[in-house]
Amino acid sequence: MFSIKNYNFKGKKALIRVDFNVPLNHNRQITDDTRIRECLPTINKVLNDGGAVILMTHLGRPNGYEADYSLTPLAPLLSKLIGRNVIFTRDLFGPKTHDFAKNLKMGEVIMLENLRFYPEEERGDEKFAAEIASLADVYINDAFATSHRAHTSVCTVAKKFPEGKKFFGLLMENEIENLDKLLRDAPAPFTAIIGGAKVSTKIGVLRNLVDKVDNLIIGGGMAFTFLKALGGKVGSSIYEEDKIESARQIVQEVMLKGVNLYLPTDMLVSSGFSNEAEFMTVSADNVPDGWMGLDIGPKTRRRFAEIINNSQTILWNGPMGVFEMENFRQGTKSIAIAVAGATISGSFSLVGGGDSVAAINQYNLADQMSYVSTGGGAMLEYLEGRELPGIQVIRGNNKENKPKKASERAAPVAKKRVIRKLR
């Protein structure tokens, strides 16, 4: 009932919240149009039904109106992609925009100016929402990557539309369906690979996943907080002193739930945070003073790849090392290859988060994954088991399709208890 698939938009003006937060170079040319392409199925569905489209998005983080953040370059590109003229309003509301919307003919598309030129966008402003909502007959949220923010265009505007007139776009529906595959009865063995710089941004996800996964692989800078919590020596590697206790609790929970925890056993350590600095391989729990771990070592790469190869369900978020530097990208690359290999052999894989997605793109492996999420923060919050504000406002209290809580799922089959870690 929230899907646009079963709705006919003929004669309707659809207000679509998209996330066209695309990267631009200094000449204001779009360097990657993926975010625009991903919303084309939703836009085309409305147009092909015989409806009209009003698009709204944010771009960057402008402080009030800043010409550099205007959506001017986006309209011609979208126009080319959909093969129709796109009218750019140069405003969000006001008499001119109202006239455009009022006179909008079916089959036409208008794009409103950057939502974030208006401070009301981030405040959940009722008046601002009513103005925008008045432009259209129905509302569609196709901006998964922004749906964890209770911003006006995501929440307050949606509230102005009754049930039956607000929907998830096709991208949004895809995200929910694929993320739910991980949260509900994912085929075992289910392996989560979590990396990146900080534990602090991923504690919620780790806690929620412990209930669901068979194997938890931790790499990247965040592994050092765990290694430290287990009594290891981390030298000058990054770790979060104030998260050591949380890491310890997660380790305890992992043991209690019978999940296999895999931390790096060897590391590439460097004498400085630079590709030019000297580097060597050492035992992960014994990083010498003055050296910092910047990637997982060869033994760890092989071990992690083996676990991944034997998994039926795989989630990957966060690089295994400082993959931006050539000398420290091997760990991330080997994970990308292992996940792609497992997927080719029939496993379900979901990759998300800016850096992991950048990595699989860099190695031309994105097409080999079962699903690549468009959400960074939104994906993590979803996997924490939280209902995102932009999803809640459309579903209301309707329980249809909500992921089950741990207490509602069937009891897990007892698993073997193993902590493979510091030897």
Active-site position among 165, 198, 207, 233:
198
Residue with the shortest CB distance to ligand AMP: 196
With contacts defined by CB under 6 A, name the span among 7-15, 62-70, 115-123, 320-328 that binds ligand AMP.
320-328
Those residues with Cβ within 8 angstroms of residue 42's Cβ, 6 or more apart along the chain or in another chain: 4, 16, 18, 140, 142, 169, 170, 171
With contacts defined by CB under 6 A, name the span among 120-128, 139-147, 171-179, 196-204 that binds ligand AMP.
196-204
- List the one residue from 196, 232, 297, 375 that touches ligand AMP (CB under 6 A): 196
- List the one residue from 169, 220, 232, 375 that touches ligand AMP (CB under 6 A): 220
What is the smallest separation between the CB atom of 325 and ligand AMP, expressed in angstroms? 8
Over the window 231 to 260, marking each residue x when it contacts ligand AMP by CB under 6 A and - when it does not, the resulting string is -------x----------------------
What is the smallest separation between the CB atom of 349 and ligand AMP, expressed in angstroms? 17
The dihedral region occupied by 400, where left means phi > 0, alpha psi between -120 and 50, and beta the remainder, is beta
Residue 40 burial (C-beta neighbours within 10 Å; 0-12, 13-18, 19+): middle
The rounded Cα 34 to chain-centroid distance in angstroms is 14
Residues between 200 and 219 with contacts to ligand AMP, criterion CB under 6 A: 201
Active-site position among 12, 13, 17, 35:
35
Dist CA 145 CA 172 (whole Å) = 9
> Each residue of 319-355: b (16+ CB within 10 Å) or e?
bbbbbebebbbbbbbbbbbbbbbbbeeebbbbbbbeb
Residues between 283 and 302 with contacts to ligand AMP, criterion CB under 6 A: 293-294
Known catalytic residue at 196: no
Known catalytic residue at 301: no
- List the one residue from 33, 49, 91, 324 that touches ligand AMP (CB under 6 A): 324
Known catalytic residue at 303: no
The alpha-helical segments, DSSP class H, found in 315-376 are 330-344, 354-362
Residue 283 burial (C-beta neighbours within 10 Å; 0-12, 13-18, 19+): middle
The pair of three-digit structure tokens given for residue 391, joined into one six-digit string: 């999803």
Known catalytic residue at 354: yes
Helix (H, G, I), strand (E, B) or coil at 145: helix
With contacts defined by CB under 6 A, name the span among 51-59, 85-93, 193-201, 226-234 that binds ligand AMP.
193-201
Number of CB atoms found within 10 A of residue 259's CB: 26
Dist CA 297 CA 95 (whole Å) = 62
* Residue 355 found at the interface with ligand AMP (CB under 6 A): yes
- Closer Cβ to ligand AMP, 124 or 264, answer by number: 264
The catalytic residue positions are 35, 198, 354, 377
Chain residues in the site for ligand AMP (CB under 6 A) = 196-198, 201, 220-221, 238, 293-294, 318-319, 321-322, 324, 353, 355
